[in-house]
Amino acid sequence: MDKLRVITRAIILDDESILLARNRDADFWYPPGGGWEVESESIKQSVEREVREETGYIIDVSSLLWAREFREPEKNKISLETFWKATISTDNAQTKAGLNSHRDLDSAGAVEECRWFPLDSLSEVKVLPKFLKDHLGTDSLTANAFIDE
What one-character DSSP code corresponds to residue 46?
H
pLDDT digits (tens, 9 = 90+) for 28-75: 999 999 999 999 999 999 999 999 988 888 999 999 999 999 888 888
8 A C-beta contact, residue 94 and residue 56: yes
pLDDT digits (tens, 9 = 90+) for 102-135: 554 556 668 888 999 999 999 999 999 998 988 8
Q: What is the pTM of this model?
A: 0.86
Domains and CATH numbers, the chain: 5-147 (3.90.79.10)
Given a cut of 60, whether residue 96 has pLDDT beyond it is no
For 96-146, give the secondary structure using H, E and C: CHHHCEEECCCCCCCEEEEEEEEHHHHHHCCECCCHHHHHCCCHHHHCCEE
Separation of alpha carbons 54 and 32, rounded Å: 7
